[in-house]
């Protein structure tokens, strides 16, 4: 014996909009409601209205009517679709805003937006509106009507569509401004909150004036802004255009669009000089990309704890901030406040920037001190994105360092070397943890990324005692796998925090490139 489908109660609410000078005429709706179990057919007329009330409308010369009905029908299961099979009315048309259907037994409530005039004998297939957190998200739309808006029309029908890198919304009418009773008034700002499908990153919008053909129904739109409340992305569109009825425009966002940046600043861990335990000096940051540049950002204000690391390395400083979307990052400008004191410095190993919304990461190796009291006295650097050395194969290098004859006493300290090439660069290589004596040569062998043709080297000396100095006479590099050798004549006294750079192409200066046959180790 089969069980019969239970009879349950439905609440149907129909919201319509009409002019004050008109009265709602007699009408009949014929519907088909489909669920995941079955479907039902029912009719609604003005005679079946249980509750009728007036609610606020977008236009001050209009009243929005909410009509509520209660019917008893069999249970369709979860509501999937509402079909308007037929509509009869004495008027030419009735403007319907939305229909809401609630299954009391299942506590299942679905909203079917319409937002357009319905003529007699019209057939519509309606599907439930989106729900936040399931398949829909909220957008905040901000419009600025320009001072050239001369008309005072109350019948403007402005719709828009958001197009993203994943999907696009349907055309949605802008109504019920949160700031003004009447939207789109000369010189006024309006804010609208819209529920729509998630399109991903906003790439463009389409604005359409769907008002009746009338010269008074033009809209002078000055600025249009879309904010995605899910990811806090804001896209700004400069328009400055009069939009006439039946006209639509396609807009692309300006570079001013705030996104989240995550920055890791790794302090150098060289022995003898470390800024990991001292107070972080004032650090300023500018990101330059394909679409523009950010404002100057004071990094210290945005220091926070990393959520993805339980035990954060004390030598790593982590920052999060929102700023303009500059597109693909090409360069950064890093600076500290000039202050010629021994304590005003920062020794940075590298900086890494992540853009979560696009899953992008950029690394900037630095390996140097910033401060007027140290090295070359620089307090500002322009850095370009560097290729990751890990992507390149490793080869063997042989290094010979020659201590000059003027070395007055034994120098004890550590030497670090970075090799730059036309492909990439090595990391920081520790050459020595011992001493350097007068007129002696020290030999080192190690494996490191193949940098290609060597263009520059950097040597950094960290003494083990405060008065230790090292007189570097020359340094030689041998790359046996390519039968290449390079000799850089220095004749330089290296002291604490002193870094020496040698460029291979500066033949007229101290850097000399020689072929292996002319160089004997």
Angle of CA points 202, 205, 208, to nearest 5°: 160
Residues 122, 200, single domain; the answer is no
- Per-residue pLDDT in tens (0 to 9) along the chain, 521 residues: 445 668 888 999 888 876 434 455 577 889 999 988 899 999 988 777 777 777 654 444 456 778 888 999 999 988 888 999 988 877 777 888 888 899 888 888 888 888 778 888 878 888 787 655 556 788 999 999 987 665 555 678 899 999 988 888 889 889 888 888 888 988 889 999 888 888 888 889 999 998 888 878 889 898 899 998 887 788 888 787 889 999 999 888 775 567 899 999 888 755 444 444 455 688 888 898 877 677 788 888 888 877 665 566 677 889 999 888 888 898 898 988 876 566 677 888 889 999 988 888 898 888 777 877 665 678 888 888 876 544 457 888 888 888 777 666 666 677 778 888 877 778 778 776 555 666 677 778 888 888 888 888 888 777 766 666 777 778 888 888 888 888 877 666 565 545 555 555 433 323 333 333 333 32
Whether 63 is covered by a domain: the verdict is yes
Q: Residue 2 domain-assigned?
A: no
Does the residue 131 lie in any domain?
Answer: no
How far from 225 is each of 221, 233, 479, CA to CA, in Å? 11, 11, 58
Query: Is there a contact between 348 and 268 (Cβ–Cβ < 8 Å)?
Result: yes
Question: Does 381 lie in the same domain as 265?
Answer: yes
CATH classification at residue 323 = 2.60.60.20
Same domain, 381 and 422: no
First to last CA, the chain: 100
CB 193 within 8 A of CB 139: yes
Q: Are 100 and 110 in contact (CB under 8 A)?
A: yes
Tell which of 341, 356, 386 closes a domain.
Answer: 386
What span, in angstroms and rounded, lies between the C-alpha atoms of 209 and 229?
Answer: 25
**Contact (Cβ atoms closer than 8 angstroms) between residue 257 and residue 233:** yes
Considering the domain architecture, whether residues 351 and 443 belong to the same structural domain is answered as no
Does 514 fall in a domain?
yes
Same domain as 263, residue 320 = yes
Closest C-alpha among 511, 476, 469, 465 to residue 494: 469
> Which value, in Å, is the radius of gyration of the alpha carbons in the chain?
36
Structural contact between residues 488 and 510, judged by C-beta atoms closer than 8 angstroms: yes
Q: What is the DSSP-derived secondary structure letter of residue 25?
A: P
Within a domain: 305:
yes
How far is 152 from 162, CA to CA, in rounded Å? 27
Residues 404 and 370 in one domain: no
Q: Is 357 helix (H, G, I), strand (E, B) or coil?
A: helix
Ramachandran region of residue 497, left (φ > 0), alpha (ψ -120 to 50) or beta?
left
Beta bridge partners, 54, equal 65
275 & 343 share domain: yes
Pick the last residue of a domain from 386, 410, 439: 386
Do residue 378 and residue 409 come from a single domain? no
* Domain closes at, from 126, 145, 172: 126
Question: Based on the domain organization, do 422 and 398 belong to the same domain?
Answer: yes
Domain assignment of residue 242, yes or no:
yes
Number of domains composing the chain: 4
In a domain, 239, yes or no: yes
Asked whether residue 371 is assigned to any structural domain, the reply reads yes
Examine the domain organization and report whether 398 and 382 are in the same domain: no
Query: 381 and 407 share a domain?
Result: no
Both 61 and 98 in one domain: the answer is: yes
User: Domain limits at 212?
Assistant: 137-251
């Amino acid at each position: 014996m089969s069980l019969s489908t239970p009879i349950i109660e439905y609440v149907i609410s129909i919201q319509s909009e009409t002019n004050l000078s008109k009265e709602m005429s007699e009408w009949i709706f014929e519907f088909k409601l489909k669920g995941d179990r079955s479907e039902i057919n029912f009719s609604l007329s003005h005679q079946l209205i249980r509750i009728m009330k007036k609610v606020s409308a977008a236009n001050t010369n209009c009243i929005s009517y909410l009509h509520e009905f209660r019917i008893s029908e069999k249970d369709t299961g979860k509501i999937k679709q509402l079909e308007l099979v037929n509509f009869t009315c004495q008027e030419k048309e009735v403007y319907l805003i939305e229909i809401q259907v609630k299954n009391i037994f299942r506590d299942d409530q679905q909203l079917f937006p319409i937002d357009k005039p319905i003529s007699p004998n019209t057939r519509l297939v309606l599907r439930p509106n989106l729900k936040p957190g399931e398949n829909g998200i909220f957008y905040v739309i901000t419009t600025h009507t320009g001072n050239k808006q001369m008309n005072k029309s109350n019948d403007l029908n402005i719709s828009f569509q958001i197009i993203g890198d994943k999907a696009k919304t349907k055309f949605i009418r802008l109504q019920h401004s949160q700031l003004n009773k009447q939207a789109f008034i000369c010189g006024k700002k309006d804010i609208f909150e819209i529920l729509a499908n998630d399109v991903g990153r906003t790439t463009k919008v389409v604005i359409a004036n769907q008002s009746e053909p009338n010269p008074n129904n033009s809209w002078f739109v000055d600025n249009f802004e879309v904010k995605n409340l899910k990811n806090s992305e804001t896209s700004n569109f400069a328009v400055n255009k009069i939009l006439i009825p039946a006209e639509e425009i396609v807009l692309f966002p300006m570079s001013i669009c705030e996104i989240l940046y995550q920055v890791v600043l790794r302090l150098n861990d060289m022995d003898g000089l470390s800024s990991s335990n001292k107070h972080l000096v004032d650090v300023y940051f500018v990101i330059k990309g394909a679409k523009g540049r950010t404002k100057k950002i004071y990094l210290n204000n945005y220091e926070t704890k990393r959520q993805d690391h339980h035990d954060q390395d004390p030598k790593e400083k982590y920052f999060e901030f929102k700023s303009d979307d500059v597109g693909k990052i090409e360069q950064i400008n890093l600076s500290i406040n000039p202050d010629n004191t021994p304590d005003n410095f920062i020794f940075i190993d590298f900086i890494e920037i992540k853009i979560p919304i696009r899953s992008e990461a950029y690394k900037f190796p630095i390996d140097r001190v910033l401060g007027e009291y140290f090295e070359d006295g620089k307090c500002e650097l322009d850095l370009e994105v560097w290729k990751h050395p890990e992507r390149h194969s490793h080869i063997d290098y042989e290094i010979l360092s020659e201590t000059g004859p003027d070395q007055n006493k034994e120098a004890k300290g550590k030497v670090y070397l970075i090799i730059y090439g036309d492909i990439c660069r090595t990391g920081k290589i520790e050459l020595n943890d011992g001493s350097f004596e007068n007129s002696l040569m020290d030999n080192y062998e190690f494996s490191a990324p193949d940098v290609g043709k060597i263009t520059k080297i950097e040597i950094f000396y960290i003494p083990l005692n405060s008065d230790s100095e090292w007189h570097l006479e020359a340094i030689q590099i041998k790359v046996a796998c390519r039968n290449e050798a390079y000799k850089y004549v220095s004749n330089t006294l290296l002291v604490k925090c002193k870094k020496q750079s040698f460029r291979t192409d500066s033949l007229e200066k101290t850097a000399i490139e020689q072929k292996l046959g002319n160089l004997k180790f």
